[in-house]
Structure 1
Amino acid sequence: MAATPSSHSVVLAWGSGEDGQLGMGDSEEKDWVCCVKFLESENVTAVVAGSRNSLAICESGHLFTWGWNQRGTLGHAPATKTESLPSLVESLAAANVKIVQAAIGGWHCLAVDDQGRAYAWGGNEYGQCGEEPERKEDGTRAPRRDIMTPQRCAPKLSVRQVAAGGTHSVVLTRDGHVWTWGQPWPPGDIKQICTPVRVHGLERVRLIAVGAFHNLALLEDGTLWAWGNNEYGQLGTGDTQPRSHPIPVQGLSGLTLVDIAAGGWHSTALTDNGEVYAWGRGEHGRLGFGDDKSSKMVPQKVQLLAGEDIVQVSCGGTHSVACTRDGRMFSYGRGDHGRLGYGRKVTTGHPMEVPIDLPPPRNCLSARGRWCSKFVACGGRHTLAIATWIDEPEESLLS
């Protein structure tokens, strides 16, 4: 009898918990995969891990947030220092807004609902939330304020996907165009903008991914484009020159790309046959090439994951996690604070399997089975995932 998935899914977390970003009700770090029990009664469909905070989207469209909140990153007032348990973003729920996708930047968050409306909250000092500062009586503008609760941003755009950088915001519209605002380069390098500006040269975009200060766009024709900062080769252009306009990523011709991901200073692309390509900053082994130093200026195949049939990769600040089609996870990169999830705080460029050592759910058909990861999200020093129990009942004696 074939293994069948149960209806029971859980949110997993591990790594640093000093800001409550694991959602466990405390500030302890976890070296092994743990269950976020507070969300067990919710049908969570997506999770996002930021540098110091986290969020979860439920099938109902409700949004839960937890972790660091000094800049309003949790989306509700008053701005406490940290919150270690997930809490509902009540202003969105009260307005019957159904969130379908979200992103966390350096100090701000973005979300999009099922109607294509985008929202922003949190730090806004660089205009990344899209709010213009008020003009004073003397004609000068007041300092930008943090946004404590979600408010509409990019109101003229019909949005399909949001992505957040260190101090800038990027959205993909339903017509396949990309728009951006905020501070797209390290502070001081370029003028800040509050109003969305279209990124020219990109048409029929399917997916976007944003790192600290670099951006990726996967087009419908399968080509990958990049722009932004490039000091570690994270644009994949063969050099370290920054680009203010999109340029094709090298070394991927002939491949059929199905997904992309961007960490703080590194990037990955996933092919339709489960192969992973990585480039950018290689320190701490976050690229998965077996060493802990080498940066790559053009995409290279991660041979250590060859044959594993990878279906998703998430890139964090200094680590990465790859999910296989059969529900296993492999982590690699910086190992302190337990962010690799297998009990050893050792930095490594060798992908290692992350065990999901949790008891079966109470409603499972059989004690025989296993937890299978369905989605993973890497943050600065912690990781979140969604896993589903797969029942493996004993063979019938009559079969």
Structure 2
Amino acid sequence: MERPSDEAETTPRLVRSLADDNVRAVSVHAGDAHSACVDEDGTLYVWGSNRYNQLGLGGKENHPRGGDAFVTTPTTVPRLPRVGSFACGGSFSVAANRHGAGLKSWGANGSGELGEGHDAGNESRAAPRAVDTSSVKGSADFVRVSAGWRHAAAIATDGGVYTWGWGGSAGQHHDDAFSTGGQLCLGVDNDFWEPFPVPDFTRRGDGGRRLLAAKDVSCGFNHTVVLVDDGAG
């Protein structure tokens, strides 16, 4: 809300600094305690809680408001390529670069939601880092991303869907009823620490045509929805 206060707002308010700078937002996003928008040039602005480095501003060592602080004014993320698609997760963020330079992620990583692989460890990341896309078939780039509490999903240019992060097996939320699994659509409730192809979107029928091709994807807290191109036009 871009106000130096912890009071709740009950009515919509203009984010004044964006308006004053003539920023034309084309998408807006919200996580558990952080918010973001992307402008028409692909520049990402972030604000809100940075407790888990979910703003991607580099941490305390090179940003005075890093760590467990709040950023009350929209701030650009340094050294981030132009964004084509973006999502706020619970306490992490993920971006698909506009010109096919892969995926970037930052913030909390307790269940592999940053997609960097097991070797990267589970510490939070204060600045954007590349997602491990070695499992991607061919040379497809990503055109859509979405994020839930601790999982994420992305659509490749060829319509393939990839998911990673919290699979529901660990019961890490305060209420185990939320940890039912299935949100990765990979047939098990394990956590996946790098993007993995969802089988129904990688199988091919006669002539090599993909059986299902995704157009859009949206992650809820512990579920995922995909809009499918049925070829009807």
Question: Is it true that 1:228 corresponds to 2:48 in the alignment?
Answer: yes
Q: TM-score, normalised by structure 1?
A: 0.46
Deviations 1:99-133 (A, max 9, x none): xxxxxxxxxxxxxxxxxxxxxxxxxxxxxxxxxxx
Question: Is it true that 1:316 corresponds to 2:126 in the alignment?
Answer: no
Looking at CA atoms only, which structure, 1 or 2, has the larger radius of gyration? 1
Question: Is it true that 1:199 corresponds to 2:12 in the alignment?
Answer: no
> Whole-Å Cα distance in 2 between the matches of residues 308 and 273 of structure 1?
12
Which consecutive unaligned segments of at least 5 residues does structure 2 have?
60-66, 169-180
Percent identity over the alignment is 31
Which consecutive unaligned segments of at least 5 residues does structure 1 have?
1-179, 361-365, 392-399
User: How many residues are matched?
Assistant: 200
Structure 1 match to 2:130: 301
CA drift of 1:290 comes to: 0.5
Q: 1:356 aligns to what SS in structure 2?
A: helix
Indicate conservation of the 8 Å contact 1:268/1:313, yes or no.
yes
CA drift of 1:232 comes to: 0.7
Deviations 1:64-100 (A, max 9, x none): xxxxxxxxxxxxxxxxxxxxxxxxxxxxxxxxxxxxx
Q: Which has the higher contact order (CA 8 A, sep 6+)?
A: 1
Which among 218, 222, 226 is matched to residue 381 of structure 1?
A: 222
Question: Is it true that 1:216 corresponds to 2:36 in the alignment?
Answer: yes
Q: 2:28 aligns to what SS in structure 1?
A: strand
CA drift of 1:221 comes to: 3.3
Indicate conservation of the 8 Å contact 1:369/1:389, yes or no.
no
Q: TM-score, normalised by structure 2?
A: 0.76
Structure 2 match to 1:246: 74
CA drift of 1:238 comes to: 1.0
Indicate conservation of the 8 Å contact 2:41/2:82, yes or no.
no
CA 1:324–1:221 in structure 2 vs 1: closer, same or farther (change >3 Å)? Answer: closer
Question: Is it true that 1:288 corresponds to 2:115 in the alignment?
Answer: yes
Question: Is it true that 1:259 corresponds to 2:54 in the alignment?
Answer: no
Structure 2 match to 1:83: none
Q: List, as ranges, runs of 4+ consecutive aligned residues in structure 1 with deviation greater than 4 Å.
A: none
Q: 1:201 aligns to what SS in structure 2?
A: helix
What do you get for the CA RMSD once the two structures are aligned? 2.9
Structure 2 match to 1:354: 198
> Whole-Å Cα distance in 2 between the matches of residues 261 and 344 of structure 1?
24
Letter of the 2:200 partner, please give it. I
Question: Is it true that 1:341 corresponds to 2:177 in the alignment?
Answer: no
> Whole-Å Cα distance in 2 between the matches of residues 350 and 217 of structure 1?
25
